[in-house]
Amino acid sequence: MRTLTSSSSERAAPQLRRMLSLAIPVIFAELGWMSMSVVDTIMVGPLGPAAIGATGVGSSAFYTFAIFGMGLLLGLDTLVSQSCGAGDRDDCHRSLSQGVYLALFITPLLMGLFALMPPFFYAFGVNREVSALAGPFVTTLSWGTLPLLLYGAFRRYLQGMGHVRPVMFVLVSANLVNWFFNWLLIYGHWGMPALGVVGSALSTCIARVYMAALLAFFIWWFERNVEPGLASLFRRPDRERLLRLLHLGFPAALQILLEIGAFGSAAVLAGRLTPVALAAHQIALNCAAVTFMVPLGIASAAAVAVGHAIGRGEPHIARKSGYVALGMACAFMSCSALAFLLMPKQILRVYTNDPGVLTIGTSLLALAALFQLFDGTQTVATGALRGLGSTRVPMLINLGGYWFFGIPVGYVLCFRYGYGVYGLWCGLTAALIVIASILLYFWNQASREIL
């Protein structure tokens, strides 16, 4: 038994090392992505509550649809990683060039949508002072749409090729760029005009240009001496390849939108409760979002590792890589669950010392601890399935799990049975348990079928 266990561990060790080398930089990149909005909030803080609210409302409205646009590019994970595993660099270039075209096609549609948003802030009852600032913030932020989507295409390409460290460097350094231009443009230092929240949006646009340009440089650097060269990127739009990207990317993008929408709907429903309950909900959700960045990074690594193995014609390695990634996510999320259970007050006090918020927040973190394992599992299973080229199944499972089960259950428990915000969280927790269980089953079946 000892010999068998040792042999199994040795066989899994290369996949574990490979997964760690891919996942760790991407995890830091995801944390860097999340921290950019934190920098914006901190920098506009001295302008007052209305400015903070406008930045929050505007960012949420913008990123809900911008992330959908970036999700359409997730098909590059599958196409590039499988072609890279097969050693077909020309096919990798073909996918990247069509990803760039897709970004160019999507940009005008998204910018048109963002231009229509400001009146809706008033229509949905957002405070008038906040709405007056959120409108210009969103319209200015929309000018960063194209570089944001190009960054998404370049990032997916580099990750698919196994070059993940540049992505981490770009996102970490982009926070410094964003902080500097926030300081320069919000308050008008060094003779620049003091633009307030518009300056913050403009700073984010500059950071997006920086991110796209630097990733483009890294692509050139890695491929400056290889054949076929980067000149093969300059090709006409390929209708068939674009449709393949959309076939893979649209379900993945819709899944992201469904998940964001589910938690956004929970926030809207929580807004009907007491301010203390709403504050506890937002803080606990933020804590869960921070821990979620780790399995999200592991999911990207799983998509790449599985795709590479499929491209090399090694389905058994693809299956093993997926399970190694799942094991990594479960190990981390077990630790975060223990932290939520054993030290909730210490975590919550980072945000507030309000006794009511601490009391409710402690119970919500206990529920968050319950769904940590399932949240990590569903995220990484989705990434592993994307490496196989399956994006429709996770989308359908998320649709059913959140919108036909979790949200209705949470609503009934909250408002019909009087459980308040705890009822909402019970619904979300139940949804994650169901989604993770079904996705794990589908991953097991799909990875077994390719053997």
Specify the 3-state DSSP secondary structure of 149.
Answer: helix
18 and 305 in contact (C-beta within 8 Å)?
yes
- Cα separation of 307 and 440, whole Å? 18
Q: For residue 77, give both structure tokens.
A: 């994970």
Residue 192 phi/psi, 5-degree rounding, is -80, 155
pLDDT value, residue 272 = 61
Q: For residue 54, what are the CA distances in angstroms to 38, 129, 197, 278, 362?
A: 14, 9, 8, 18, 29
pLDDT value, residue 420 = 79
267-277 burial: b if 16+ Cβ within 10 Å, else e: eebbeebeebb
pLDDT value, residue 12 = 61
Query: What percentage of the chain exceeds 70 in pLDDT?
Result: 89
311 and 83 in contact (C-beta within 8 Å)?
yes
57-104 tens-digit pLDDT: 777 778 878 888 888 888 888 888 888 888 888 888 888 989 999 999
pLDDT value, residue 267 = 62
pLDDT value, residue 407 = 87
| CA angle centred on 28, ends 295 and 157, rounded to 5° | 85
Name the pTM for this structure.
0.81
Q: Which positions of the chain have pLDDT values less than 70?
A: 1-12, 38, 41, 45, 49-50, 52-53, 56, 122, 124-127, 227-234, 264-265, 267-275, 278
pLDDT value, residue 191 = 78
pLDDT value, residue 224 = 78
Number of Cβ within 10 Å of residue 243's Cβ equals: 11
Domain ranges, ordered by start, for the chain = 18-237, 248-451
241-253 tens-digit pLDDT: 889 888 888 898 8
Helix 165-187 to helix 197-222 angle (10° resolution) is 150
333 and 373 in contact (C-beta within 8 Å)?
yes
- Cα separation of 403 and 396, whole Å? 10
pLDDT value, residue 404 = 92
